[in-house]
Amino acid sequence: MRSAPTTSADLTDPAFVADPYPLLDELRAAGPVVRQDSGRWLVLDHAGVSRLLRERALGRVWRDREPTDALEPFNLLHRHQMMENEPPDHTRLRRPVAAAFNRGHVERLRPRVRSLAASLLDEAVASGPSFDVVAAYAEPLPVLVIAELLGVPSSYAPSLRDWSQAIVRMYEHAPSPAVVDAAVAAAEDFAGLVTELAAERRRTPPEDRPADLLSDLVATELSDVEVVASAVLLLNAGHEASVNVFGNGLVGLLRAGLRPAADVAVTVEEMLRFDSALQLFERTATAPVDLGGGLVAEPGDTVALLLGAANRDPAVFADPATLDPARSPNPHVAFGAGVHFCLGAPLARMELTESLTLLFERHPDLALADEPTPRGTFVLRGFNAVPVSLGVESPR
């Protein structure tokens, strides 16, 4: 068995978090698979990440965060989420959600997305020629959309944003006690709201239920806790992915002085690739797994698939460090692959295309007004604030 290149690289180092790509390029050049001193495998090439995302002997093995009792609200949601389970449980949890998505909910929402985006943009520009495009536009839009998709009243949108951000901070390395406490409180409040709304749906005769995803879910064989976990996952994933892809991609465009291609959907794919919102997806070997090149992960080994590194693999993408708004084809892995391929990908793509189109139709001279403020996290990479100036507004 061949030995792997090893690294002592610290993926929590602030310099790395600020710009991970030089080190990821260096590690990939050392070998498509390297091993950290901790024993965790890092897979960095596009071919390896694509293949291992589909590898059935690599699973998502949920382990309750300790101390278990204190973190039970957080653990309970994750224990019953499709993302943290493998077939057959994953299949059982995913099937009803996928079926509900396939009933046309996403396309039904397209006119509503356009309307919400227009209203948010009107509000953002009303106070002057510059604003924070994340806080005023990119962040509230997907929360409002996913809330409407599920049937959560829009009055809860600010709380949904806060809860989501608190929960996902737990996915970073070694969260602080304050982060843990906030995540537990958010999970408890989030689950409480969805439990109440689901109970209302169950009390309502099927023919009188609203046409939303939550109504579809309570009509399935999923248990109460599984319905809640599925709804919370959709709200979290639907919010975080869209916000961070929009912010990261927009900053890339504006720093380079670029504009979307004529086919904005093509530019959205490049935004997904260029500065991936989800950088790392961990799986655990349940049997010996061929990592390639004679390297084998043994049962129990953790394998980190570095999506951002795969999306800048020069073996697949010409000039990968350059954002090309018209790049096509674009076989990025930003949404994953295999059984854990992102269920909300069609919704995210639609939201991003509609919101980006409207922003540049109205404000073709958009520019950065100040240096963006990064979130300072690696697993979920994004910006807390992106100040922009508008230039001259185009006729509507």
Residues tagged active-site: 237, 240, 242, 342, 351
- Yes or no: say if 372 and 387 are a contact pair by the CB < 8 Å rule: yes
3-state helix, strand, coil in the chain (%, to 5): 55, 10, 35
Q: Which amino acid, one-letter code, is at 93?
A: L
In sequence order, which residues have a C-beta less than 8 Å from that of residue 220 and are 6 or more positions away?
A: 96, 227
User: Greatest CA span in the chain, whole angstroms?
Assistant: 65
Burial per residue of 115-124, b for 16 or more beta-carbon CB atoms within 10 angstroms, e otherwise = ebbeebbeeb
- Yes or no: say if 141 and 242 are a contact pair by the CB < 8 Å rule: yes
Preceding amide of 329 cis, omega within 30 = yes
Question: Which tokens go with 175?
Answer: 């969260």
Looking at residue 277, the DSSP 8-state letter turns out to be S
Phi, psi of 366 (to 5 degrees): -55, 140
The Cα-based distances of 311 to 213, 243, 304, 305, 375 in angstroms read: 32, 19, 15, 11, 21
The Cα-based distances of 213 to 301, 362, 395 in angstroms read: 37, 32, 37
Phi, psi of 153 (to 5 degrees): -55, 140
Residue 51 burial (CB count, 10 A): 17
| Residue of 256, 258, 240, 250 whose CA lies nearest to 386 | 250
The full DSSP string for 286-340 is SS-EEEETTEEEPTT-EEEEEHHHHTT-TTTSSSTTS--TT--S----TT--GGG
Residue 16 burial (CB count, 10 A): 16
- Yes or no: say if 245 and 352 are a contact pair by the CB < 8 Å rule: yes
